[in-house]
Amino acid sequence: MTRLGAIISAVIVLAVIGFASMLSFGPAPATPKQAGVSRDVPAPASTPTTSEGLRVPVAGVPRSAIRDSWGEAREGGARGHHGTDIMARAGTPVIAAADGWVEKLFESGRGGTTLYQRSADRRWTYYYAHLAGYAPGVREGMRVRAGQVLGYVGDTGDAGAGNYHLHFGLTRMHGDERWWQGDNVNPYPLLARQPAGR
């Protein structure tokens, strides 16, 4: 084989590998009626956004106060918890954990008043649930910056009256998946550790 032939063969192999990596061979994605995303995966070794990491999405809550509630039994053990609950007083501002845009404002039985934020690179969705309400001017499609107020801590949905907290979820997205699809990822390790360079 000539050198040119070897180079062409290598380019073809790389193109095939690249194309195959864009395909999804997992189970069919969930629908909104299935109440959320379809698969669970371990937390990534690095942050899903930048070297700055995720901000704690409840104003004034230190990283040390966050407890890992991933996988805890819900509904009498019928399902596991897919997120991190951050306890706070009613009405405490809920802030964007990273840059991105508001993809969906949604009312659900479990999550109550919820907000789905897509990351700036479209690879992640941040899920904010049990909100008391949205911040003034928050709307679908708007760009948000890390630290921007999105809403307020509440007890809507299945949180239980007086059980004020933010349920924060993290979903790894693939291609053009919609706001309710993707892979559940435990956000706790990304919220509890100090971002790089601080």
Domains annotated for the chain, with CATH where assigned, are: 44-192 (2.70.70.10)
Q: What is the pTM of this model?
A: 0.70
Q: What is the pLDDT of residue 58?
A: 96
Q: What amino acid is encoded at 17 in this protein?
A: I
Contacts of 179 (CB under 8 A, 6+ apart): 103, 104, 106, 116, 118, 125
Per-residue pLDDT of the chain (198 residues), as tens digits, is: 676 666 666 656 555 555 444 443 333 333 333 334 334 544 444 445 443 469 999 999 999 888 887 655 555 555 555 788 999 999 999 999 999 999 999 999 888 999 999 999 989 999 999 999 999 999 999 999 999 999 999 999 878 899 899 999 998 988 788 877 788 888 888 888 655 554
Q: What is the pLDDT of residue 51?
A: 37
